Chains A and B, each alone.
Chain A
């Protein structure tokens, strides 16, 4: 290329070379004419025609015309010099000259036309070649599409790089194979590969989104386009198939659908109300919990201003808050941080809520979503808890004062040696009374249970139970239950120390009854000991009898009678029935 190429370029670009060549050729022709004067006398120009043709072919139109002129001048030079002017006898010479010039010009132009035609044909052919090559490169270079040809029978006739990449087979493996190889088994069995080709042949093309298989057997989702190819005569020659792997897109859209439906079910099944409003604060979405919370059906709620869910007095402030929130740029935040939020049910009932608000731009639309929780029950529980805590504090302190009192009384009456045992006995009676009350949530306790607890320390001391407890069901309020627990603890303790439980065979009967009236007013409890050692009235009276007197008189508004009979001590407690001591 280098030397020949450079020469060719110089030849094309430098006219002087081409004109110089023309002169040389004409000169050579002139020389030849001189030598062959004898033979060419009749045709003085004949030798110049081949020269002009050579110049026209080799150097182009310009040099060829130049050669015609040069040859004419050369040939006529002797005539011109000899005659000094054109004379009549030279007329034939002039005709001959004109003939030569026109013939030379014509043949130059003919050669030029031939040359142009040939060059154009060469260019066209080269362009065609180039374009075919580029097209092949293009098809082959496409990575993302499998592009291949099938012959009339559905056998693979070409296979691009994309096809190899997507399907896994190399060109040599697949060429000549039936197209059904790229179909999953069930599609192949049902005859789909052939049917698709038939449809494409009948209608010109066929499209589908369907599964295809790779060489390794794995499946992928394909976007398939089949075009039937016909020759000029309309005969079917084969098919072009373009396949795109759309598994990713399929997965993405399936994931999207899945996540959307999952989200929808979360929203629907949420325990909290979820409400979405647009920029005009009209409801565009509300879930089941919102329907239950506010009392509007979903279809009624959609389109309602959110103000319908808010008590009148808060509406303006709420609208301002939402507008303000829109300008913050925060995506979400808790609502009502300045105090508790109030919702409005359809029936006009107001209720405390807490919630959060979030905002999002969806296709240029501003949407606000609030998530609300009805905290009525929680507020109530909190209030109840606060009440319980206050009540507990009160009760604990009261109980400490009671313990203080028991300790003071014990110190006052019990001998120092017995102080500790006596005190712990009384505290444990207090404790079991509290247990009894705790079981009923401090509603109260049955008299039967209270009496039984007094005897509890002596259960199992002898093989047979030496006390009986008998009477109609009586309910005691908490304080009365505690006080009577301490009373019966004292009576049983005294019996164990000095009375019917101090020997092996004494008995105690505890029996109570109501007065006979239609609406009984009084409860009469008898504690009667028998079979114990002989008793005498104690000298100063102990804590037990003091408690009995004071508790029954002060707290229960009743009276006590004690009978220190020889057979055994007998107590009678008369208690008026009230809300605190009542028939169960």
Chain B
């Protein structure tokens, strides 16, 4: 990872955002922004789409589902993973191929996700 990966965190729980921020900082990533709602997330994506390398998406944002954010990232070719407390029932089958982390999550899981983001970033660079 030559330059720091820029990551978006979407979660309505401040404490979890803080945890992810710290874990990502420990992994040498920078946090492009954090959001607790779909609208905030879309605004951040719009603002940072050139530099964004990946995103952690909580699925249920207090009743609001995060899928529009997932669609926006997909449309821009930005990789993302879901972070959910409801791994068994929570994910829409349309997004079955997307990796999902279950809360609470370990540092290794976050590291794997970050590695995934880093690999995906290299693809357009080599092409």
Residues on A close to B: CB < 8 A?
A: 390, 393-398, 400-406, 408-409, 412, 477, 479, 483, 486, 546-547, 550-551, 554-555, 580
CB contacts between A and B, total, < 8 Å? 77
Q: How far is the CA of A486 from the CA of B14 in the complex (A)?
A: 11
B103 in contact (CB, < 8 A): yes
Having A397-B86, A398-B16, A404-B105, one finds 12 other A-B pairs with CB under 8 Å, namely A393-B85, A393-B89, A394-B90, A401-B15, A401-B19, A402-B13, A409-B22, A412-B22, A483-B15, A550-B17, A551-B14, A555-B13
15 A-B pairs with C-beta separation under 8 A: A390-B89, A396-B85, A398-B85, A401-B104, A405-B15, A405-B19, A409-B15, A486-B15, A547-B14, A547-B15, A547-B18, A554-B14, A554-B17, A555-B12, A580-B62
> A398 contacts which chain B residues (CB < 8 A)?
13, 16, 85, 103
* CB-based contact B85/A394 at 8 Å: yes
Q: How far is the CA of A396 from the CA of B86 in the complex (A)?
A: 10
Q: How far is the CA of A546 from the CA of B16 in the complex (A)?
A: 13
> B34 contacts which chain A residues (CB < 8 A)?
554
B60 in contact (CB, < 8 A): yes
Q: How far is the CA of A479 from the CA of B16 in the complex (A)?
A: 12
Q: How far is the CA of A393 from the CA of B90 in the complex (A)?
A: 11
Cβ-defined partner of B19 (8 Å) among A395, A404, A479 = A404
Tell me how far the C-beta of B98 lies from the nearest C-beta in chain A, rounded to whole angstroms: 18
Residues on B close to A: CB < 8 A?
A: 12-19, 22-23, 34, 36, 60, 62, 84-86, 88-90, 102-105
Across the two chains, which residue of chain B brings its CB closest to A405? Answer: B19
Given known contacts A394-B86, A479-B62, A554 and B15 CB-to-CB distance under 8 angstroms: no
Tell me how far the C-beta of A388 lies from the nearest C-beta in chain B, rounded to whole angstroms: 13
Cβ-defined partner of B12 (8 Å) among A390, A479, A486 = A479
* CB-based contact A403/B14 at 8 Å: no
Cβ-defined partner of B36 (8 Å) among A394, A400, A401, A554 = A554
* CB-based contact A405/B16 at 8 Å: yes
> A393 contacts which chain B residues (CB < 8 A)?
85-86, 88-89
Q: How far is the CA of A580 from the CA of B103 in the complex (A)?
A: 24
Q: How far is the CA of A551 from the CA of B11 in the complex (A)?
A: 12
Instruction: Select the residue from A396, A403, A550 with max chain B CB neighbours within 10 A.
Output: A550
> B102 contacts which chain A residues (CB < 8 A)?
397
Instruction: Select the residue from B15, B60, B62, B105 with max chain A CB neighbours within 10 A.
Output: B15
* CB-based contact B90/A483 at 8 Å: no
> B60 contacts which chain A residues (CB < 8 A)?
394
* CB-based contact B105/A401 at 8 Å: yes
> A409 contacts which chain B residues (CB < 8 A)?
15, 18-19, 22
Tell me how far the C-beta of B10 lies from the nearest C-beta in chain A, rounded to whole angstroms: 11
Tell me how far the C-beta of B27 lies from the nearest C-beta in chain A, rounded to whole angstroms: 14
* CB-based contact B19/A408 at 8 Å: yes
Instruction: Select the residue from A406, A479, A554 with max chain B CB neighbours within 10 A.
Output: A554
* CB-based contact B62/A406 at 8 Å: no
* CB-based contact A397/B103 at 8 Å: yes
Across the two chains, which residue of chain B brings its CB closest to A403? Answer: B104
Q: How far is the CA of A479 from the CA of B23 in the complex (A)?
A: 22
> B88 contacts which chain A residues (CB < 8 A)?
393
* CB-based contact B15/A397 at 8 Å: no
Q: How far is the CA of A550 from the CA of B35 in the complex (A)?
A: 11
Tell me how far the C-beta of B95 lies from the nearest C-beta in chain A, rounded to whole angstroms: 17
Among all A-B residue pairs, the 8 with the closest Cβ atoms? A397-B85, A405-B19, A401-B103, A405-B15, A401-B104, A404-B104, A400-B104, A394-B86
Tell me how far the C-beta of A194 lies from the nearest C-beta in chain B, rounded to whole angstroms: 91
Tell me how far the C-beta of B64 lies from the nearest C-beta in chain A, rounded to whole angstroms: 12
> A483 contacts which chain B residues (CB < 8 A)?
14-15
